[in-house]
Amino acid sequence: MTATQRPGLLSLDDALVRLLASATPPLDTEIIRVGDADGRVLAQNVVSALHVPPQDNSSMDGYAVRCSDLHIPGLALPVSQRIAAGSSGQTLQPGTIARIFTGAPVPPGADAIVMQEDCTVLPPVHGDTDGARVKVNTRPALGQFIRRAGEDVARGKTVLASGQRLGPAELGLAASIGMADLEVARSPRVALFSTGDELVMPGSVAPQDMPAGAIYNSNRFFLAALLRRLGCVVTDLGIVPDRRDATVQALRDAAQMHDVILTSGGVSVGEEDHIKPAVQTLGTLDLWQIAMKPGKPFAHGRIGAAHFLGLPGNPVSSFVTFLVLVRPFLLKLQGQSALAMKVIPARADFKWDRPDKRREFLRARYNPEGGLALFANQGSGVLTSAVWGDGLVDNPPGKAVEPGDTVRFILFSELLA
C-alpha cells in the first residue's frame, strides 16, 4: 500500500489483475456465419488456403505492356486484346499492348501497366485493318501498377489469430479468403438489475409528477447498451427493492442461468445497501472497494458458477468502473488476448489543483488547439460530463496537473468500440 492510498482500498492495478485472473476458463465456443461475427472473439486461428490476390492483377484502368517494347516515350503500338476483371487474357505478343481494367489478371508476357491517362488512342488510318493503335506517352517502369499474387495474403498465412476481437475489417479479410463460418467464443449471458427504492423508469412517471427524492434510472440503459456492444446476451431484471430478502432472491434466481450478474447500486456501506451481505449469504465476495475515483464501491464475487460484478449507483461511477474493470473482464471471459487500455499522451490545457488520494479518471475533451479541456463539474452524478467528453484523463493518486503538463488520456472511442 502506498502512502497516498487510503487504508483498506485495493489499488486499481491489483484489482484488475485479480479480476482478470478469475475470468478463467474462457467460455465455450460456437460456429457462426461470418456476417454475424462482428464484435465477437475468435476461438481459432484463421489460416488462408489461397493467395490474395490469387494472381497478378492490374491496379489501374489502362494498358498492359512489355517494357522492352517502350524504350522511349511516344511509341504507338496496336491493341491485341481486351481484358476485363473476371476474365483472363492470352500471352501478350511482342510489339502489342492489351487494354486492361482494374482488377483484371495481367496477361503472361506483360511486365507493367500504363494508366490510360498516360496514353492516347490514335484515330484509325485509312485502309488500316490491324485494329486500334495507342500512343504510350511515358516510359513505364518494370512492374508498375501490378498487384502481385499473394501480396495481401500468402497461402498458409495466419490472417486472424485466436483471441482477436472481430470488427468490420476482420470480417472482410475472413471473407476474402473464402471463410463462410468462424469459431468464436459463446456470448456471455449477463443478468442486469439495479437496486434502489428511489429509482423510477422513464415513461412510468412524468417529470412534473416525480415524487420527492425520486430519480430516473439511467444506469439500466447505458449498462445494457455497453453489454450488448461487447457481444453479451442481456437479461434485464429491472429494479430490485432495497430489501435484503428481495436482493438475495434476485441474486439466487439470476445465478441459475447466467455467466455474469451485473448490478448497479447497493454496494456502499449504508444501512440500505444490501448487495454485500446478500452475495456473502449465497457465495463469496473477492473484491470490495477500489482506490479509484469515481468508482470506489466496486465488488466482485461468485454465486455458484456465476460471476457477480457490483457497480456503484452514481451514474458516472457506474459508467467509468464498467469501462475500466468490467469491459476487460468480459473480453477476457470470451478469450480476448489484448486487454490493456490504449493510453495516449496529451497536453493538459487545464489546472487540477485538488487531486484525490485515489487514482482519478477525469472527463476531458480536445480543444481547437489540440490540448485537453476539463469538464467543469467532475462529480460522480454528472452524466453530461461523459457525453461532453472525448475520454478520460488517467491521473495518478495525489498528482496535481498544471497547464502544459503531459497527461495520460484514454479515448471513449477505444473503450466503447
pLDDT tens digit string along 146-199? 999 999 999 999 999 999 999 999 999 999 999 999 999 999 999 999 887 788
Cis peptide before 25 (omega within 30 of 0): yes
* Cell (9 digits) for 76: 504507338
Query: 339 in a domain, yes or no?
Result: no
The total number of structural domains in the chain stands at 4
Q: Tell me: do 197 and 302 sit in the same domain.
A: yes
Q: Tell me: do 202 and 306 sit in the same domain.
A: yes
Strands 306-311 and 344-347: unpaired
Q: Tell me: do 287 and 390 sit in the same domain.
A: no
**Total Cβ atoms within 10 A of residue 81:** 18
pLDDT score at 4: 46
Query: 64 in a domain, yes or no?
Result: yes
Nearest to residue 281, comparing CAs of 305, 254, 309, 301?
301
Confidence of residue 417 (pLDDT cuts 50, 70, 90): confident
Q: Tell me: do 368 and 309 sit in the same domain.
A: no
pLDDT score at 214: 86
Q: 225-244: per-residue pLDDT in tens?
A: 999 999 999 999 988 888 88
Distance of CA 354 to the CA centre of its chain: 33
Q: What average pLDDT is seen over the chain?
A: 92
Q: Tell me: do 119 and 136 sit in the same domain.
A: yes
Q: Tell me: do 216 and 129 sit in the same domain.
A: no
Confidence of residue 1 (pLDDT cuts 50, 70, 90): very low
What does the alpha-carbon distance between residue 220 and residue 315 come to, in Å, rounded to a whole number? Answer: 10
Percent of the chain with pLDDT over 90: 81
Q: Tell me: do 249 and 198 sit in the same domain.
A: yes
Structural domain of 357: 344-415
pLDDT score at 213: 85
Q: Tell me: do 257 and 272 sit in the same domain.
A: yes
Q: Tell me: do 313 and 226 sit in the same domain.
A: yes
pLDDT score at 127: 53
Q: 322-367: per-residue pLDDT in tens?
A: 999 999 999 999 999 999 999 999 999 999 999 999 999 999 999 9
Q: Tell me: do 136 and 179 sit in the same domain.
A: no
Query: 7 in a domain, yes or no?
Result: no
